[in-house]
Amino acid sequence: MRSRWGVVAALLVLLAACTAVPEPEDRASPAPNPVSSPATSGTPSPEPSSPETATSAETRTGPDGRPFVIEEIAEFDEPWAMTFLPDGRSLITGRAGELTLRGANGQNVEVSGVPEVVHEGQGGFGDVVLAPDFETSKTVYVSWAEAGDGGDSGAAVGRATLTENGGSAELADLDVIWRQEPKVSGNGHYGHRLAFSPDGRHLFVSSGERQKMEPAQDLDSDLGKIIRMSPDGSGAQVWTYGHRNPLGIAFDADGNLWNSEMGPQGGDEVNLVKEGANYGWPEASNGSHYSGEDIPDHAAGDGFEAPKAWWNPSISPGSLMIYDGAMFPQWQGDAFVGALSGEALIRVDLDGTDAAEGDQWDLGRRVREVEQAPDGAIWLLTDEGQVLRLVAP
């Protein structure tokens, strides 16, 4: 573990408004956008924070005048996703193929039984979520990029039992329940974020179009879709289509499904996901091709579902979390997006089925994952390897 907080603290400035040139999704230059004041609500007392010790911390004040603290907790190699266990421990994936069980005291246990992954380009080990009945079943769901024939690859989803024996842990009896079809060449736009419906009856998987564009409109292909299936993988079906690179997916308290996805040069989106809807890619986008070639903007009557919020220049959304914790009551019900090229944490104001850009905090780091801890703290994983924690003072 090592601290880089001197750099982070120098860059951690709450933006009121800013502009920047467009950047492709795989670059690390910031592309901030205008921000607005957050909504406020009741003020229940925050739950206690984790006993884990931060390596550094700095207090900031939001535009509503309420203070918060961002702490650097740890550092990993290429962290991609995380989820919290009911007892406060966490599982953290590493894109090269590692899974770490991290204790609240900061002690790490490497989990064996992880699948072999294609660790190239944007490929690697991906998401991790708990089964709705995890407390009794100990079932964990994971996603990754797997090899096919002749150098092709595609996303996969599996489920396993998290077993522990003394100081060791294992993903036992890993079973692949879904494979992205067809497998294709290249190593980009896998997607493979996971979310369970609130009733626990269905698993939703975001499936990128693998930088092939046209398959997003082909209903006989899994590419460029959001897929719904039963927890055992049966009954998999296309739920929505016309997606590009959907790297965030989450349900709100009312049962609405939302996703965030990268547009091309500009046109990054937050969408309300509605069964059977076509989200337009590559026929419509509020961005343009990297070549400069125009793409028709979303427009009323074009037959496509327009985004509820969008960004131009690009921010490159890498994840999506909808907050329902007690530590920050002013943010309850809002979405948080981790921005890669935008190098920021972004709050999106959710109001029923509408969304609007909210606050943007410049971190000077590519934010890959945003996750809510059991105590209501907000945790971030960065492509630079840091684990950051946002808490009330």
Catalytic residues: 189
Q: Residue 58 and residue 233: Cα distance in Å, rounded?
A: 44
Complete edge-to-edge strand list for the sheet that includes strand 153-165:
79-84, 90-94, 98-102, 108-112, 168-179, 153-165, 139-147, 125-130
Q: Residue 54 and residue 320: Cα distance in Å, rounded?
A: 24
**Which residues are CB-contacts of 288 (< 8 A; sequence separation ≥ 6)?**
264, 265, 266, 267, 294, 295
Q: Residue 313 and residue 320: Cα distance in Å, rounded?
A: 19
Which residue in 251, 360, 277 sits closest to 311, CA to CA? 360
8 Å CB contact between 301 and 278: no
Q: What backbone phi and psi angles, to 5 degrees, belong to 242?
A: 80, 30
Which residue in 281, 282, 259 sits closest to 269, CA to CA? 259
Report the SS3 class of residue 11.
helix
Q: Residue 380 and residue 92: Cα distance in Å, rounded?
A: 11
Q: Residue 173 and residue 169: Cα distance in Å, rounded?
A: 13
Q: Residue 259 and residue 251: Cα distance in Å, rounded?
A: 9
Neighbours of 148 (CB within 10 A): 16
| CA-based R_g, the chain, Å | 20
